[in-house]
Amino acid sequence: MSIDQTKSQIQMQQLMVRYPTGKVALSGVTLDIKQGQFVYLVGESGAGKSSLLRTFYGGIRPSSGTLMVQGTDMRQAGETKIRDLRRHTGIIFQDHRLLFSRTVFENVALPLRVQGWKTERLIPRVRKVLSYVGLGDRLWSYPEALSGGEQQRVAIARAMTAKPAIILADEPTGNLDVDTARRVLNYLMDLNRQGATVIMATHDLHLLESHPGRVIQLHAGSLARVEP
């Protein structure tokens, strides 16, 4: 996949998010994320990292300012447009968000089923991504039979199965040991090399040394440091 690193995937101007409680989660965030970048969102707990990621897939809407994601105005977009955007966005949560009543195969197949893939086309794609994350032999296992690291790899496989343009990862290594965390990050780096824009919230700052990327630091809902 060719990568046009002059093209913006996400643009925001004076972005503000205020929750119904009155708490301001983000204030005055102006930022431009180009296609094909690997971006770390860092900052203390409560700095606004998760809130910012959630605005990128419509989990929360901006209170003011502007936010464009893949050409979609996130303040004005209707639910149909938001659903369409999510089909082109891979989302990885710290707590995996797997469906424990479904097999590993069905968890990973879900984004493709939502897009209307036929079973005969879907099966080889799911097998391929599970083999990629080293779980080709666990297709018919249930998530509860897997370790935390294996569950996170299932979440990565699910996020990448539809070949999304953007992958959002919220503390994907937070509950993992160092070796497993590095393995997970290697997968994300590889997906980035294949063309995906990867935005990862993390507090594991030591990972930045072994896996460098663009660093955006938040503090109390505002930008504290932005690398080019």
- Look at residue 2 and tell me if it is in a domain: no
pLDDT in tens, 145-199: 999 999 999 999 999 999 999 999 999 988 888 888 888 899 999 999 999 999 9
Residue 116 lies in a domain: yes
User: Exposed e or buried b for every residue in 154-176, given b needs 16+ CB within 10 A?
Assistant: bbbbbbbbbebbbbbbbbbbeeb
- Where does the pLDDT of residue 5 fall: very low under 50, low under 70, confident under 90, or very high at 90 and above? low
Q: What dihedral angle (degrees, nearest 10) is formed by the CA atoms of 19, 24, 28, 33?
A: -60
Instruction: Output the pLDDT for position 219.
Output: 97
- How far is residue 179's CA from residue 172's CA, in Å, rounded to a whole number? 13
Domain annotation covers residue 3: no
Place of tokens 């959630």: 54
Question: How do residues 59-118 score in pLDDT, each as one tens digit?
Answer: 999 999 999 999 999 999 999 999 999 988 999 988 889 999 999 999 999 999 989 999
Mean pLDDT of 47-65: 96
CATH number, domain containing residue 55: 3.40.50.300
pLDDT of residue 2: 45
Sheet strands (E) in 35-131: 38-42, 64-69, 72-73, 89-92
> Of all residues in the chain, what percent are helix, strand and coil, respectively (each to 5)?
35, 25, 40
Range of the domain at 36: 8-226
Domain count, the chain: 1
**pLDDT tens digits, 117-142:** 999 999 999 999 999 999 999 999 99
Please report whether residue 1 resides in a domain.
Answer: no
| pTM, rounded to two decimals | 0.92
